[in-house]
């Protein structure tokens, strides 16, 4: 039986190396250390031979099959795939730089197919060209030593850029694994550098989780006197709890006031899976007012002076600074942390919260079906959250901590729940 992506991903290490056959000579060799190597077994002039076609996950199942297919084509032509690879190494550019650019070209195709974010592609290209190429670019990829790579990474660390060094190591690992698939390298040398880089200090997005301070923040937001686009973005950020980039790039065509939903297509999501945001009564009211001002634009929040582009990524954060909140106190991304903390504290279903935050990594078939998971309870939760924010905004600071959010999670498993009429009064 042919392998599946799930079977490859879930293959566990054993005391001894073992193989999982995919068919037609291709197999996955799982090593005791957990590494997974693709091997293509074939016969040439009566002799059995083995060809390496990459390391998982750098070389996916589909790519391994394609590479094995190319080897079979050579056999059909009467050529030995292994010998042809040796010849290719002598005639082709096997430099680190050439392999990296070959990998970038493959990534760029995924960008055009909306399977990868352009920002991710751009960051990868910057790391390669600015940090790795200057010292490693022209070196044959199969001859680069762990010591050489470590020296490059340590140079980055001397500038205090520990997270950048970690990411550069990750990008280098991708390049070496790609080189294995191309037959230019025998292994990923970044595995030798485990534990040799200074761990970066993890800093979370600043957020406010004290109910009294949340109420103060909401009063400040509703008192913002700037343009309607920025004011609406500030008001919607805590209600919709999407990532800042997803909010500022929101498009009117994806909103349905009738069903009170914002259906975000996969190409706009970080995890490249579709996502549904149930709209509260308060959210619908803000959106309807905003639509009068920006409904003629593709975007909810068009850039000032250019309605064909979304607002700047710094707009919400700058507005928060105008309201007196420094970067260490609150950020546009912090609204998600605020919601996550308080929703969990008030007893809402953890899986529903995570799904609404689009934290769960999904792929393939799951992405096509599970975006609506927990949707009935998420509808109730988002309305309860909006009501709670309203109550905090209107409450005296000394009373805020005693305010409880309505929690119907225990009885929200039925599927007949409907959005309350938008004309209902907001909870006092």
The residues carrying an active-site annotation are 243, 270, 333, 336, 359, 369
Ramachandran angles phi, psi of 153, nearest 5°: -70, -35
Q: What average pLDDT does the chain have?
A: 85
Q: What is the DSSP letter of 419?
A: P
pLDDT band at 90 (very low <50, low <70, confident <90, very high): low
pLDDT surpasses 50 at 421:
no
pLDDT of residue 410: 40
Residue 324, Cβ neighbours under 10 Å: how many?
A: 10
* CB neighbour burial string for 336-349, b if at least 16 within 10 angstroms, e if fewer: bbbbbbbbeebebb
pLDDT of residue 150: 95
pLDDT surpasses 90 at 277:
yes
Block residue for tokens 């059995």:
48
Block residue for tokens 């050439």:
98
Residue 101, Cβ neighbours under 10 Å: how many?
A: 17
pLDDT band at 171 (very low <50, low <70, confident <90, very high): very high
pLDDT of residue 305: 81
As beta bridge partners, residue 40 has 26, 51
pLDDT surpasses 60 at 95:
yes
Percent of the chain with pLDDT over 70: 88
More confident site: 410 or 41: 41
pLDDT, mean of residues 148-169:
93
pLDDT band at 406 (very low <50, low <70, confident <90, very high): confident
The 10s digit of each residue's pLDDT in 336-391 is 999 999 999 999 998 899 999 988 654 444 444 466 678 999 999 999 999 999 99
pLDDT of residue 57: 83
pLDDT, mean of residues 212-216:
94
- Please, which residues have CB within 8 angstroms of residue 195's CB and are 6 or more apart in sequence? none
DSSP string for residues in 356-393: HTT-S---HHHHHHGGGTTHHHHHHHHHHHHHHHHHHH
Handedness of CA 140, 143, 146, 150 (dihedral sign): negative
pLDDT of residue 426: 36
Q: What is the DSSP letter of 242?
A: -
pLDDT of residue 2: 87
DSSP, collapsed to helix, strand or coil, labels residue 200 as coil
The 10s digit of each residue's pLDDT in 102-129 is 888 887 776 666 666 777 888 889 999 9
pLDDT surpasses 80 at 219:
yes
More confident site: 423 or 143: 143
Block residue for tokens 């008001």:
235
pLDDT of residue 408: 56
- Please, which residues have CB within 8 angstroms of residue 78's CB and are 6 or more apart in sequence? none
Q: Among 273, 218, 200, 246, which residue's Cα sits nearest to residue 386?
A: 218
Rounded Cα distance, 61 and 112, in Å: 21
- In angstroms, how far is the first alpha carbon of the chain from the final one? 62
pLDDT of residue 201: 67
pLDDT of residue 115: 62
DSSP string for residues in 87-104: HHHHHS--BHHHHHHHHH
pLDDT of residue 29: 92
């Amino acid at each position: 039986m042919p392998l599946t992506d799930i079977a490859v991903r879930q293959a566990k290490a054993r005391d001894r190396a073992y193989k999982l056959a995919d068919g037609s000579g291709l197999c996955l060799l799982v090593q005791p250390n957990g590494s997974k190597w693709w091997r293509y077994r074939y016969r040439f002039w009566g002799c059995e031979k083995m060809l390496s076609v990459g390391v998982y996950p750098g070389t996916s199942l589909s790519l391994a099959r394609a590479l094995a297919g190319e080897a079979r084509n050579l056999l059909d032509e009467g050529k030995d795939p292994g010998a042809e690879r040796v010849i290719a190494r002598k005639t082709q550019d096997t430099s680190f730089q050439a392999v990296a650019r070959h990998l970038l070209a493959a990534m760029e195709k995924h960008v055009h197919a909306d399977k990868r974010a352009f920002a991710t592609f751009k960051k990868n290209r910057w790391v390669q060209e600015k940090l790795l190429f200057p010292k490693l670019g022209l070196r044959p990829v199969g001859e680069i030593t762990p010591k050489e790579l470590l020296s490059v990474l340590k140079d980055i660390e001397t500038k205090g850029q520990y997270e950048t060094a970690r990411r550069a190591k990750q990008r280098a690992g991708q390049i070496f694994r790609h080189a294995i698939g191309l037959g230019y390298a025998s292994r990923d040398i970044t595995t030798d550098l485990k534990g040799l880089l200074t761990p970066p200090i993890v800093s979370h997005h600043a957020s406010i989780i004290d109910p009294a301070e949340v109420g103060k923040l909401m009063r400040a937001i509703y008192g913002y006197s700037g343009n309607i686009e920025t004011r609406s973005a500030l008001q919607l950020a805590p209600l919709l709890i999407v990532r800042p980039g997803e909010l500022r790039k929101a498009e009117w065509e994806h909103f349905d006031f009738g069903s009170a939903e914002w259906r975000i297509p996969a190409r706009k999501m970080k995890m490249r899976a579709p996502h549904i945001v149930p709209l509260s009564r308060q959210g619908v009211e803000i959106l309807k007012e905003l639509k009068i001002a920006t409904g003629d634009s593709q975007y909810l929040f068009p850039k000032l002076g250019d309605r064909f582009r979304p607002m700047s990524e710094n707009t919400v954060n700058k507005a928060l600074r105008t309201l007196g909140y420094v970067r260490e106190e609150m950020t546009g991304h912090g609204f998600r942390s605020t919601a996550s903390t308080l929703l969990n504290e008030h007893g809402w279903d953890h899986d529903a919260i995570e799904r609404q935050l689009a934290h769960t990594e999904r792929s393939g078939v799951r992405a096509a079906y599970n975006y609506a998971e927990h949707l009935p309870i998420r509808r109730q939760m988002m309305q309860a959250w909006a009501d709670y924010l309203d109550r905090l905004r209107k409450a005296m600071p000394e009373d805020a901590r005693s305010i409880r959010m309505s929690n119907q999670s225990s009885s929200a498993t039925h599927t007949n729940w409907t959005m309350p009429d938008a004309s209902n009064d907001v909870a006092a």
